[in-house]
Copies of this chain bind each other. A is one copy, B any other.
Amino acid sequence: MISIRLKYILQQIGLSGFTNPILVGISGGPDSLCLLDILHRAGYPLIIAHLNHGLRPEAEADARMVKQLAADLGVEFVLGKEDVNGFALENKLSIEEAARFLRYRFLFSQARQYAVQAVAVAHTANDQVETILMHLLRGTGLSGLKGMSYVTLPNAWSQDIPLIRPMLSTWREEIVQYCQEHHLQPVQDKTNLDTTYYRNRLRHELIPYLENYNPQVCKLLWRTAQTLAGDDEIVEQAVASAWKDCIGEQGPGYVFLSLSVLLKFGKGLQRRLVRQAIDRARPGLLDIGFETIDRVIGFITSPCRSANLSLVGGLYLLIEGDRLWVAARGAALPDFEWPQAPRDKQIELNVPGEVTLPNGWRLKTEPVRRADLPFSYHSNQDAFQAWLSSECLQQPLIIRSRLPGDRFQPLGMDGRAVKLSDFMINAQLPRRARSAWPLVCSNEEIAWIPGMRISQQFRIVENTHQIVHIQLVKIEQG
């Protein structure tokens, strides 16, 4: 019965048949002996791998026993030995974490050497339930609640060798029975390495306790995990597809999303996408709390958002128009070639004349007679061109970036002066672009802010005859 199910699962996993061997991790305990026996009887070519964790006095004897078993079966045997205690101490890991890490490292290094088609481990249905409960108690999401999978590829250890767990739907009591029926003699592992104290408490105390509430609880939890695995697949696919739709650009320490696209998705997808953006901006930042994501969602969906929000882990959020940046402090965000003036000096510009700005832009001037004013002057469609009253302008024009205290009289506000910084904010000029945004000045006065507005003071009025046409143009590349 177990073996039929196992063979069916191996078929479903889609192993490429009986050509390349499967490397099977054998501790010598009942689970792994059962797995080994079934795989061997089914005719799969195998390699038995055993890691001596160096933790118990019996470890040497266990290794010899597994080696002997391999010899009896006529199966290749590889043995590893590690100092788990030392490794744990060195890397500040728990014994279990260290053992787990070293075990998989050993299995996959051997797997690569032997070019196997898969690494098989003997996790059972009980292990699955314990894993889910452990995740639940420690706080988790969908990916934790779905538990382990029959096949994991890519996995933390390989892009091309799958980690398989064919026993994941087999219960421990079935295994014990199988071992009896087939006269398998597992070693007695007193620490049960794979199961820390915490896991043992779960197994021997919590689960029996929960069975008081529902004797079927293990089976039900197992099924819940199975169902959630399907849902997790759906979510992953939906997130991947939505990510493609809203990702703008990604670089070292930053990523930006299209805010308008992001806001079209439901809250659930928004959360996932923000989480992913944080993860891309700072890979390996493990502790992205629930509250952080919540704050970000609140920030971007609130109608009166400011442009900047500090996050955990030295990250911040920045909104520039439709761009939602998630970036590490200090990361060099691309500036998208905004027009910028030199920060440290002023440039003189004659009429006619032209000057080149540092960031791939050019300012050009020419005198225009009143009669030659083009129609576009009236429709005012291009904020990167301006027509100013030459009679009021002091020449040469001065091109500079903003200075503390700068004020400006925007056209159409009856000559009222506003703080330049306020004007730039109202015009939704990205903060990073503001400090070196080019200003066209006459003496001290700002005559034109390219891309935004001319000054009321320099507008063309009824009796203006001499006019200056100014253009800010992007220099064509190549």
Q: Does A210 lie within 8 Å of B142, measured CB to CB?
A: no
Q: Does B224 lie within 8 Å of A136, measured CB to CB?
A: yes
CA distance A235 to B233 in the complex (A): 9
User: Which among A101-109, A263-271, A431-439 touches the partner chain?
Assistant: A263-271
Q: Does A139 lie within 8 Å of B220, measured CB to CB?
A: yes
A417 at the interface (CB under 8 A from B): no
Q: Which of B141, B221, B233 contacts A266 (CB 8 A)?
A: B233
Q: With a CB–CB cut-off of 8 A, which chain B residues contact A238? A: 234-235, 237-238
Residues 217-236 of A contacting B (Cβ, < 8 Å): 217, 220-221, 223-224, 226-235
Q: Does B137 lie within 8 Å of A269, measured CB to CB?
A: no
Give A430 Cβ to nearest chain B Cβ, in Å. 29
Bitwise, A443-456 to B at CB < 8 A (1) or not (0) is: 00000000000000
Q: Which of B202, B206, B227, B269 contacts A141 (CB 8 A)?
A: B227
CA distance A231 to B238 in the complex (A): 10
CB contact under 8 A between A213 and B137, given known A266-B233, A272-B234: yes
A375 at the interface (CB under 8 A from B): no
Q: Which of B139, B201, B210 contacts A223 (CB 8 A)?
A: B139
Give A160 Cβ to nearest chain B Cβ, in Å. 21
Of the candidates A136, A209, A267, A271, the one having the most CB atoms from chain B within 10 angstroms of its own CB is A136
Q: Which of B145, B210, B228, B268 contacts A230 (CB 8 A)?
A: B268
Q: With a CB–CB cut-off of 8 A, which chain B residues contact A309? A: none
What is the number of residues of chain A that contact chain B, defined by CB distance less than 8 Å? 41
Nearest residue, chain B, Cβ from A226 = B290
Q: Does A137 lie within 8 Å of B227, measured CB to CB?
A: no
Q: Does B230 lie within 8 Å of A231, measured CB to CB?
A: no
A190 at the interface (CB under 8 A from B): no
Give A350 Cβ to nearest chain B Cβ, in Å. 58
Give A215 Cβ to nearest chain B Cβ, in Å. 11
Q: Which of B140, B216, B221, B235 contacts A235 (CB 8 A)?
A: B235
Q: With a CB–CB cut-off of 8 A, which chain B residues contact A201? A: 213
CA distance A224 to B140 in the complex (A): 6
Main secondary structure of the interface of A (DSSP, over half): helix
Copies in the complex: 2
Q: Which of B138, B227, B229, B231 contacts A214 (CB 8 A)?
A: B138
Q: With a CB–CB cut-off of 8 A, which chain B residues contact A234? A: 234-235, 238-239, 266, 268-269, 272
CA distance A145 to B235 in the complex (A): 15
Residues 171-207 of A contacting B (Cβ, < 8 Å): 201-202, 206
Residues 115-167 of A contacting B (Cβ, < 8 Å): 136-142, 145
Of the candidates A141, A206, A272, the one having the most CB atoms from chain B within 10 angstroms of its own CB is A141
Q: With a CB–CB cut-off of 8 A, which chain B residues contact A210? A: 137, 206
Q: Which of B138, B271, B272 contacts A220 (CB 8 A)?
A: B138
Give A250 Cβ to nearest chain B Cβ, in Å. 22
Residues 238-287 of A contacting B (Cβ, < 8 Å): 238-239, 266-269, 271-272
Q: With a CB–CB cut-off of 8 A, which chain B residues contact A239? A: 234
CA distance A136 to B355 in the complex (A): 71
Minimum-distance CB pairs A-B, first 6: A230-B268, A139-B220, A233-B268, A234-B268, A141-B227, A223-B290
Which A residues lie at the B interface, using CB under 8 A? 136-142, 145, 201-202, 206, 209-210, 213-214, 216-217, 220-221, 223-224, 226-235, 237-239, 266-269, 271-272, 290
Q: A141-B227, A145-B145 are in contact. List 15 more A-B contacts (CB 8 A).
A: A137-B214, A140-B220, A141-B224, A141-B228, A142-B142, A202-B213, A209-B209, A223-B290, A226-B290, A227-B271, A227-B290, A230-B267, A234-B266, A234-B268, A235-B238
